[in-house]
Structure 1
């Protein structure tokens, strides 16, 4: 993951991506603030919100890498989720209290049978408690005040939706709060483990909600871990305290992913010194091949990432310059 010279990581014209482990209870914006204070980068931003009640992978862009954040945001995601069948909540997770419960949850086979209906390209309405803006206001702010939220459906893609575990649990509601365990008024609910691979923009809470509606019992998200975002995985995630120590001890660069990790899906092309100079100055220049089209990531002869450029009429047109001539 080494990507920039030792000692220059605090420079405002450098940067990379940190694969941050976000714990339960921390907002994504809080994680960004902590990383900013630890590293002294002025420009820091996460590449896709992870709900406070979820934990796991949260890629964060530092410095000039923030200009490539949208490419990470668009990467496929992997999750492990726990679905509670028989309970519905307004937020589609345990942030809010139950609004309905059924006394008889479905059997495991019924869950298995409906999962194929939620794979492939599916239409999904985001949860009311989401960060989507409605009239310039976050939807969750409207929902928390009891307002009506009308969000448009969107097409998302679910590549994998697999049942990994299932267990019956007694649940009840005490003082509007969900309680796990036997009591005189407890009902038999079903906890289901799910492994999910999906496109960017897919809400696991909405997926669980819709599965519950299809089963006729309602369902809410009981637990969620994001295990991967493109090349960023849980197994090599970094905790914020580790990042803080690395910054103070001057080895932060060893924990950062290079900026071009965000665009590895684009074709790579090596260019000569003259072309590289033109690109570094933001100038359009002639291709050697004269036939390449679409956006490419361009490198010099030493393998240094220079720019993103689009091939047009035998020329390179700079779209984003990483290594400038300054």
Structure 2
């Protein structure tokens, strides 16, 4: 007699997993796999990496999902290899070759054009992207052979570091604002050099203050005893580490968690010198309460609050 299938009960898991996404996996597939390995109730990622790309993919679980938007807005750092002299339909190795040109580019030529691509620049989003037009991703139009007009978007390349050149491969490190397409950057550099280009490899090494060196692979997670996996998660406030901290008494913490704005000018609470976003903790046990806006006059306005054992 066959035993009935017993549905696995998911458990509350809270924190941030720094995943080193493998090549060929979509961000969503990697999230689903990690969620299953952690047996977590709730999970979300913080912006996608193309299947072609590898590297840092922060995954949020439980209460950390409330702050995933902060990483969507954060600066990103990549290391990439640009294949000069060859263009493809997708701007990377997944597309079909469009054109091959004789390559006569020198290192001096490259160093001369790279400054054009630092600071504020405009990029036209690629057709092979997840941006939507009339509710449909652009890549679906592209696969149907349809090319649509796209408006250029303003992005910022904070730094563009030359790592080496062994023709036809140019290696770069890029620190950029949200919304930057490294594929387009590679193609534009190739265009400026007069030879065309596509990305041969792309690896994300940083998202905001989070770094790849502290990440773990899916294989490493799978190989660990299930009871130890949740211990790999960084705490929820790892997503808020760039914001100054405010400590509240139990009484003030309770009021904040009820959604009240707090007038702290006359309270014995140490406040940052500047207004803006802050992370808020309960002074008595150090537990994170969430994020808030510190306004002029010492007003603390709740923003995103998390559930704690006290609530």
Matched pairs, number: 294
Unaligned runs of 5+ in 1: 1-9, 169-189
Aligned to 2:188: 210
Pairing partner for 2:294 from 288, 292, 311: 311
Other structure's SS at 2:74 match? coil
Aligned counterparts of 1:150 and 1:95: Cα–Cα separation in 2: 22
How far off is 1:73 after superposition? Answer: 1.7
Gap change, CA 1:311 and 1:194, over 3 Å in 2: closer
Match of 2:4?
none
**2:224 aligned with 1:242:** no
Which range moves more in the overlay, 257-266 or 203-212? 257-266
Q: Unmatched 5+ residue regions in structure 2?
A: 1-9
Moved more, 282-291 or 251-260: 282-291
More displaced stretch, 153-162 vs 282-291: 282-291
2:214 matched to 1:230?
A: no
Give 1:297's aligned residue.
279
**Which whole-Å CA distance do the structure 1 matches of 2:114 and 2:89 have between them?**
22
The structure-2 alpha-carbon separation of the partners of 1:288 and 1:304, relative to structure 1 and needing over 3 Å to count, comes to farther
CA-to-aligned-CA distance 1:81-138 (integer Å, 9 cap, x gap):
1111111112111111111121234222111110010001111112211111111111
Q: Does 1:221 align with 2:205?
A: no
**Alpha carbons 2:11, 2:41 under 8 Å: kept:** no
Q: Distance in 2 between matches of 1:244 and 1:283?
A: 43
The 10-residue stretch of structure 1 (136-145 or 234-243) with the greater mean CA deviation from structure 2: 234-243
Normalised by the size of structure 2, how large is the TM-score?
Answer: 0.88
Cross-structure match for 1:269: 246
| Superposed displacement of residue 194, structure 1 | 0.9
Q: Give how far 1:62 is off.
A: 0.9
CA distance in structure 1 between the aligned counterparts of 2:52 and 2:179, rounded to whole angstroms: 18
Runs of 4+ in 1 over 6 A off after TM superposition: none
Kept after mapping to 1: 8 A contact 2:37/2:226: no
RMSD (Å), alpha carbons: 2.0
TM-fit CA distance, 1:289: 5.0
What secondary structure is seen at the aligned counterpart in 1 of 2:111? helix
- Check conservation: 2:22, 2:54, Cα contact below 8 A: yes
Name the CA distance, whole Å, in 2 between partners of 1:319 and 1:63. Answer: 17
Offset of residue 314 of structure 1: 4.2
Q: Which residue of structure 1 lines up, in the alignment, with residue 100 of structure 2?
A: 101
Which whole-Å CA distance do the structure 1 matches of 2:223 and 2:266 have between them? 47
Deviates more, 1:24-33 or 1:101-110: 101-110
Q: Could you tell me how far 1:11 is from its partner in structure 2? A: 4.2
- TM (norm. structure 1) is 0.84
Q: Which aligned pairs between 1:1-326 and structure 2 lie closer than 5 A? A: 11-12=11-12, 14-168=13-167, 190-246=168-224, 248-289=225-266, 293-301=275-283, 302-312=285-295, 314-324=298-308, 325-326=310-311
Kindly indicate whether the alpha-carbon contact (under 8 Å) linking 2:82 and 2:186 is maintained by their aligned counterparts in 1. yes
Name the SS of the counterpart of 1:254 in structure 2.
helix
- CA shift, 1:167, in A, is 1.5
Cα separation, 2, equivalents of 1:39 and 1:318: 30
